[in-house]
C-alpha cells in the first residue's frame, strides 16, 4: 500500500481524449493506494472534472508556458492540499515542466519526468533524424511552412498522406485539397511548420512503457488498435504479446535514454511485416487503464517510482485483454461550474452533498 | 511436421484470436472442426475421415478442401507445415 496525494492533468475526455481519467482509474482500481486525487484542469469544462468517481478536488491552473504563474498556482494549491506526486499527461506540458523540477521539489512535489533534451528529441521534427541515425524504421516526412508546398511535397510522398502538427494532431488526406484543409486547421491550432508524412499501410500498435530514473524498463504493454476514430485515436484495442515489438520498444527507449511514462506508436507495414515507429508520446496513452487490468498497472508503478521506491521489472502481462471506450453523460449541479469559474477550485462530492436538485422546479 | 501456433485461441463458434498479432478471424463450422482437431494434435488423415463421415463427402474432395484450408492457415502463420512458426512464444 502506498499513501500519497497525486495531482493529475489531462482530465478532458471529449473527442480527442487525454489520459488523465484512465490514469486516475488505474490508481483507484489498484487497491494498493490511499490518498487524494487532485485534478488539475485548464478549462472549467474539462469533462473528467464532473465525474465524482475521479478527482477528490479539482483546481484550475494556468497553461504551463506561464512557468511563473503555474508555480505560483501550485504553491497556492499546496497550501490547501499537499501534493506528493505530479503526473503531467499532456504533450504540451512536457515541453516546460521538466525545467521546473527544482522548483517543484521545493514545494515537496515529486515527479518522474524525462530531461528537456529527451523531450525535444521526441518532437516530431527531431524524431525522423533520430530514427535515421539510430536505424529505426520511420516514415519519410517533410516539414512545410506554406500550403503552396503541399502539392510538390505530395509528389514526393505520394497519396494518401498524413498531415501532422508539430506538437499534436494527425489527419489522413487522400487528395491535395484535403491535405490543404488539414494544413490550415493544424496551422491554426499548433502553428508552423506542418509535417507531411508518408502513409504506411498496415495494422497500428502502441506500446505504453514506464522507465525508472536510470532509464531501466519497469513495465511495457503492447496493444493492437481494433477501432480507430477519424482522428486516429484508438477506441478499442487488445493486448498482444509480440516479443519482437516489445524488444523494439525497449531498444528505442534505451537509445533515447527515456525516464518516466511514455507511449510508442507503431504501424506494422502490411507489405513487409516490419514495424515503423510513428510517434513517441512523452506520457501514458489514453488506453493506459487497459495495462492495469492486463497485469501491469503502469500508473501505480509510476507513482511508486516518483515517490522514491526502487521497483524491479513488473511481472508479465496477459495478452488478449480488450478495452472498448464509450462515453456517457454525467449529471451534476450547476454550482460545480460556478465554483470552478468563480474560485478556480471544486470539491465535487462536497457540493453534491449540499445540493439536492441542480435545477429550478 | 504440422504444428499449430501456441499463440492462438479458438472458441467453439469459430472465433480465432492471435495473441501475437492481435488479429482476429472467423471460421465456419468445418474450419473450426479442423483447427480444433489440429490443436488436439489429431493427424490430418484422421481429421479428413471425420469430415467424410460427418458430411458424406468423397475422400478426394475432402482431401483437396482440407489441403486448401491448411494452406490458408499456414499463410496466416496459424499453423506451420515445417514445424517452424515465427515468435511462437506465448
Query: In which domain, by residue range, is A148 found?
Result: 140-198
Q: What angle in degrees, to the nearest 10, is found between the helix axes of B59-75 and B44-55?
A: 130
Identify the closest residue of chain A to B89 by CA–CA distance. Answer: A243
- A219 and A285 share a domain? yes
Mean pLDDT, chain B, as a whole number?
91
A46 φ, ψ to 5°?
-60, 125
ipTM above 0.90, yes or no: no
pLDDT, tens digit, 9 for 90 and up, residues A242-296: 999 999 999 999 999 999 999 999 999 999 999 999 999 999 999 999 999 999 9
Å between A203 CA and nearest CA of chain B: 9
Q: Are A347 and A268 members of one domain?
A: no
Q: What is the mean pLDDT of residues B49-77?
A: 93
User: In this predicted structure, what is the pLDDT of residue A355?
Assistant: 55
Residue with cell 508503478: A301
pLDDT of residue A224: 97
Q: A320 vs B9: CB contact, 8 Å cut-off?
A: yes
Q: How many domains does chain A have?
A: 3
Size of interface A-B (CB pairs under 8 A): 35
Q: Which residue of B has its CA nearest to A241?
A: B20
Q: How far apart are the first and last CA of chain A?
A: 46
Going along chain B from its start, the domains and CATH numbers come out as: 3-80 (1.10.10)
C-beta separation of B35 from B27 below 8 A: yes
Asked if residue A127 is part of any domain, the answer here is no
Mean pLDDT of the A129-150 span: 94
In this prediction, residue B87 carries a pLDDT of: 65
pLDDT of residue A260: 97
Q: Identify the pLDDT of residue A193.
A: 93
Confidence of residue A122 (pLDDT cuts 50, 70, 90): confident
Average pLDDT of the residues in A205-226: 97
**pLDDT tens-digit profile of A307-335?**
999 999 999 999 999 999 998 999 988 88
Do A205 and B22 count as a contact with CB atoms less than 8 A apart? yes
Count the Cβ atoms, other than its own, within 10 Å of residue A191. Answer: 11
Q: What residues of chain B have any CB closer than 8 angstroms to a CB in chain A?
A: 7, 9, 17, 19-23, 87, 89-90
Same-domain status, A215 and A320: yes
H or E, element range at A198: strand A194-198
> A187 and A218: one domain?
no
Distance CA B23, CA B9 (A): 11
Partnered with residue A238 across adjacent β-strands are A224, A322
CATH number of the domain within which A194 lies? 3.30.1490.20
Identify whether A135 is part of a domain.
no
Q: How close, in Å, is residue B1 to chain A by CA atoms? A: 24
Domain end position, chosen among A182, A198, A214: A198
Respond yes or no on whether the N-terminal peptide bond of residue A116 is cis (omega within 30° of 0). Answer: no
- Separation of alpha carbons A178 and A286, rounded Å: 27
Q: Do residue A314 and residue A213 come from a single domain?
A: yes
Q: Is the pLDDT of residue B90 over 50?
A: no
B67: cell is 489441403
- DSSP-derived pairing of the beta strands B3-4 and A217-228: unpaired
Contacts (Cβ under 8 Å, ≥6 apart) of A174: A159, A160
Q: Judging by beta carbons within 10 Å of its beta carbon (0-12, 13-18, 19+), is residue B5 exposed, middle or buried? A: buried
Amino acid at each position: 500500500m502506498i499513501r500519497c496525494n497525486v495531482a493529475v492533468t489531462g482530465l478532458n475526455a471529449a473527442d480527442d481524449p487525454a489520459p488523465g481519467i484512465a490514469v486516475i482509474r488505474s490508481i483507484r482500481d489498484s487497491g494498493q493506494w490511499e490518498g487524494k486525487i487532485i485534478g488539475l484542469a485548464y478549462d472549467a469544462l474539462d469533462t473528467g472534472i464532473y465525474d465524482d468517481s475521479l478527482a477528490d478536488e479539482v483546481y484550475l491552473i494556468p497553461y504551463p508556458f506561464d512557468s511563473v504563474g503555474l508555480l505560483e498556482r501550485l504553491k497556492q494549491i499546496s497550501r490547501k492540499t499537499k501534493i506528493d506526486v505530479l503526473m503531467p499527461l499532456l504533450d504540451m506540458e512536457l515541453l516546460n515542466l521538466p525545467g521546473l523540477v527544482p522548483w517543484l521539489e521545493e514545494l515537496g512535489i515529486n515527479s518522474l519526468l524525462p530531461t528537456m533534451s529527451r523531450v525535444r528529441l521526441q518532437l516530431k521534427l527531431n524524431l525522423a533524424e533520430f530514427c535515421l541515425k539510430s536505424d529505426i524504421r520511420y516514415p519519410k516526412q517533410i516539414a512545410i511552412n506554406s500550403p503552396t508546398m503541399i502539392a510538390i511535397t505530395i509528389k514526393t510522398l505520394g497519396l494518401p498522406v498524413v498531415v501532422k502538427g508539430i506538437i499534436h494532431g494527425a489527419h489522413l488526406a487522400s487528395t491535395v485539397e484535403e491535405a490543404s484543409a488539414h494544413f490550415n486547421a493544424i496551422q491554426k491550432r499548433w502553428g508552423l511548420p506542418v509535417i507531411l508524412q508518408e502513409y504506411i499501410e498496415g495494422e497500428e500498435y502502441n506500446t505504453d512503457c514506464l522507465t525508472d530514473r536510470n532509464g531501466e524498463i519497469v513495465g511495457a504493454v503492447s496493444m493492437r488498435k481494433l477501432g480507430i476514430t477519424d482522428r486516429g485515436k484508438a477506441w478499442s484495442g487488445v493486448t498482444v504479446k509480440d516479443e519482437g515489438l516489445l524488444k523494439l520498444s525497449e531498444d528505442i527507449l534505451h537509445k533515447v535514454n527515456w525516464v518516466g511514462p511514455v507511449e510508442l506508436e507503431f504501424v506494422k507495414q502490411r507489405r513487409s511485416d516490419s514495424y515503423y515507429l510513428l510517434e513517441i508520446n512523452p506520457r501514458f496513452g489514453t488506453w493506459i487503464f487497459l495495462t492495469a487490468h492486463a497485469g501491469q498497472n503502469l500508473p501505480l508503478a509510476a507513482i511508486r517510482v516518483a515517490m522514491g521506491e526502487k521497483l524491479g521489472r513488473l511481472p508479465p502481462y496477459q495478452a488478449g485483454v480488450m478495452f472498448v471506450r464509450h462515453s456517457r453523460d454525467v449529471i451534476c449541479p450547476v454550482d460545480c461550474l460556478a465554483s470552478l469559474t468563480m474560485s478556480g477550485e471544486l470539491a465535487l462530492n462536497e457540493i453534491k452533498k449540499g445540493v439536492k436538485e441542480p435545477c429550478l422546479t | 511436421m504440422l504444428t499449430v501456433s501456441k499463440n492462438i485461441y479458438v472458441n467453439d463458434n469459430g472465433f480465432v484470436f492471435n495473441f501475437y498479432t492481435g488479429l482476429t478471424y472467423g471460421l465456419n463450422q468445418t474450419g473450426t472442426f479442423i483447427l480444433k482437431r489440429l490443436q488436439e494434435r489429431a493427424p490430418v488423415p484422421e481429421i479428413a475421415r471425420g469430415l467424410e463421415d460427418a458430411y458424406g463427402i468423397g475422400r478426394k474432395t475432402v482431401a483437396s478442401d482440407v489441403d486448401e484450408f491448411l494452406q490458408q492457415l499456414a499463410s496466416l502463420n496459424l499453423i506451420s507445415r515445417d514445424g517452424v512458426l515465427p515468435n511462437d512464444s506465448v
